[in-house]
Structure 1
């Protein structure tokens, strides 16, 4: 077993310094009644040196080994050796400084030295080990946050190409058959794309903005499909749409999926309903699968699921019944929507 000692950081040294500034006067007061002042000062310095070395070896040496679970038998042997050497140093040092009588080693003396020195450096060890644990947890949280932000950036990077690709295909078809309608479609499409660009770095947008965005998108859909698809909104009249937040593009993606996978007809339009309550908003429609299978990798819904999981720590709810399909996503309160992903609470 090779004991690799970690280096204490500046805050570790600061903690040790503050501890001894507070502890040294108390130790000096207890020693000055047993010996002269110079010997008491020497004893304090020896205490500071021996306790600091003992805590350093335990917290920065043996504790990391224990956490890594490297060769338990060797770790145990090292700890036993450390305790014996430490006890001898403690008893010998204090004997020379405070009691110059001949020293006789026997088991009770060694056991007493072990107990007394453990009490001596125990508080400092607990403080420093607790601080190290806090530092590790803080680094872990920062790492998780960085990973979450990286995943979100990757997911956001998939949105624009996905939206752009689908709508450019529509525009290409319209330009071949109806240039005037293609021009109107392009104008509306440019407005929609500006919305995505404006909010590309946002985790959330107000539900009111998202509903305006999907209304513009529905306008484009009606130009493309006529009356084959019908749309309805069922929103509680008392709901404040500006204080409920959703991931940008949520409703547009769910409406797009509904049309992509289900057939509509002018005589029997497919009704797509946007329904909300205090906790969630859902896109609901009858199941009318298209006769020709749609070439789809499910990227959009998977992307949306991952973003809500990362940002709210909640899952979107997909209900695929015999005659109805719906996707419900959580609504996030405005007061919590700008917190870290782990702190967001869906209302």
Structure 2
């Protein structure tokens, strides 16, 4: 915060605020001086000009020099300069306006204190406005920094694709080319369609659930060529649900299904049933727990990656439900209207 406030000059936006302030206040001051002194407008005008310059310089010093001292502990020893500055400004106030208005200049201790108070009333509103404006600018700057950090984290998370996915499917394709060229062609078309989806949505935060389900159909097709009928899939949807209206983080289903197969055994005689169920608010992937005899080396980054992406995209939480018999992961679905409204 202090690095932002420790600028020793007014920014252009600060200057615009100061100009707008005086454009409103200066005419009022002119009328006040004319009323208080009985002078003409032209005679009172120099007093207004001096007021504008004097108060602006004072506020600039306070906001850019003294305000940061209250925020930086290591400079608290310099706060003793503040009352000195206020007393000096009070003395200058008495001298300047005494000379301009023809008043007797009294620089006794009490008069200087009263002059400091009177001067503070003169520039107080401008100081408050400029301080508030700088605070608002700081908050905007912090929001931009956080947004940039969030976007950077999301890009890194999206880039973390499992390298084994490409390797395993290329091995399947090589075997099909040798034994069934026609099926190899179909496999290649499905594989290409899957990667078209990844490329198309690689920079998107959300995709329609209908698109994600079409993507996972291609993925399941590839899985059947690797594992045969060892894994079975079932999808359940409420009647009349609009899958294009609901959004999901792209690649969610691939990761969840891949996670199931990585850690659970299936076989042709007793396929492992993986259920994909959808409601108006969530998508869940549920399966019986059937751990593989040989534990799979896993860092757990896949699910952690997905959890972090949902957190970054609006503090949405993934729910994991693990019992002795089943394992389920539920991810939140987002209505398209909510995303468009937020954008």
TM-score with structure 2 setting the length: 0.91
Q: Does the Cα contact within 8 Å between 1:243 and 1:333 map onto a contact in 2?
A: yes
Supply the distance in 2 between the matched residues of 1:275 and 1:170 (Cα, whole angstroms): 26
Aligned counterpart, 2:73: 69
Task: Using the TM superposition, give the Cα deviation of residue 5 of structure 1 relative to its aligned residue in structure 2, in angstroms.
Answer: 4.8
Aligned counterpart, 1:111: 113
Task: Using the TM superposition, give the Cα deviation of residue 99 of structure 1 relative to its aligned residue in structure 2, in angstroms.
Answer: 2.6
Task: Using the TM superposition, give the Cα deviation of residue 121 of structure 1 relative to its aligned residue in structure 2, in angstroms.
Answer: 0.4
Aligned counterpart, 1:250: 252
Task: Using the TM superposition, give the Cα deviation of residue 183 of structure 1 relative to its aligned residue in structure 2, in angstroms.
Answer: 4.5
Aligned counterpart, 2:123: 121
Aligned counterpart, 1:140: 142
Ranges in structure 2 where 5+ consecutive residues have no aligned partner? none
Aligned counterpart, 2:94: 91
Taking the TM superposition and a 5 Å limit, the aligned residue runs for 1:42-57 are 42-57=46-61
Aligned counterpart, 1:30: 32
Secondary structure of residue in 2 paired with 1:70: helix
Aligned counterpart, 2:171: 172
User: Is 2:273 the partner of 1:271?
Assistant: yes
Supply the distance in 1 between the matched residues of 2:209 and 2:267 (Cα, whole angstroms): 30
Supply the distance in 1 between the matched residues of 2:7 and 2:247 (Cα, whole angstroms): 49
Which structure 1 residue ranges, 4+ long, deviate > 3 Å from structure 2? 176-179, 181-184
Task: Using the TM superposition, give the Cα deviation of residue 223 of structure 1 relative to its aligned residue in structure 2, in angstroms.
Answer: 2.4
Aligned counterpart, 1:226: 228
Secondary structure of residue in 1 paired with 2:338: coil
Secondary structure of residue in 2 paired with 1:203: coil
For the aligned residues, what is the CA RMSD? 2.0
Supply the distance in 2 between the matched residues of 1:108 and 1:335 (Cα, whole angstroms): 65
Aligned counterpart, 1:304: 306
Supply the distance in 1 between the matched residues of 2:116 and 2:141 (Cα, whole angstroms): 35
Task: Using the TM superposition, give the Cα deviation of residue 113 of structure 1 relative to its aligned residue in structure 2, in angstroms.
Answer: 1.0
Supply the distance in 2 between the matched residues of 1:27 and 1:65 (Cα, whole angstroms): 32
Ranges in structure 1 where 5+ consecutive residues have no aligned partner? none
Q: Does the Cα contact within 8 Å between 1:228 and 1:267 map onto a contact in 2?
A: yes
Supply the distance in 2 between the matched residues of 1:40 and 1:313 (Cα, whole angstroms): 59
Supply the distance in 2 between the matched residues of 1:270 and 1:8 (Cα, whole angstroms): 68
Which of 197, 215, 223 in structure 1 is aligned with 2:217?
215
Taking the TM superposition and a 5 Å limit, the aligned residue runs for 1:304-323 are 304-323=306-325
Aligned counterpart, 1:187: 189
Aligned counterpart, 1:333: 335
Q: What is the number of residues matched between the two proteins?
A: 334
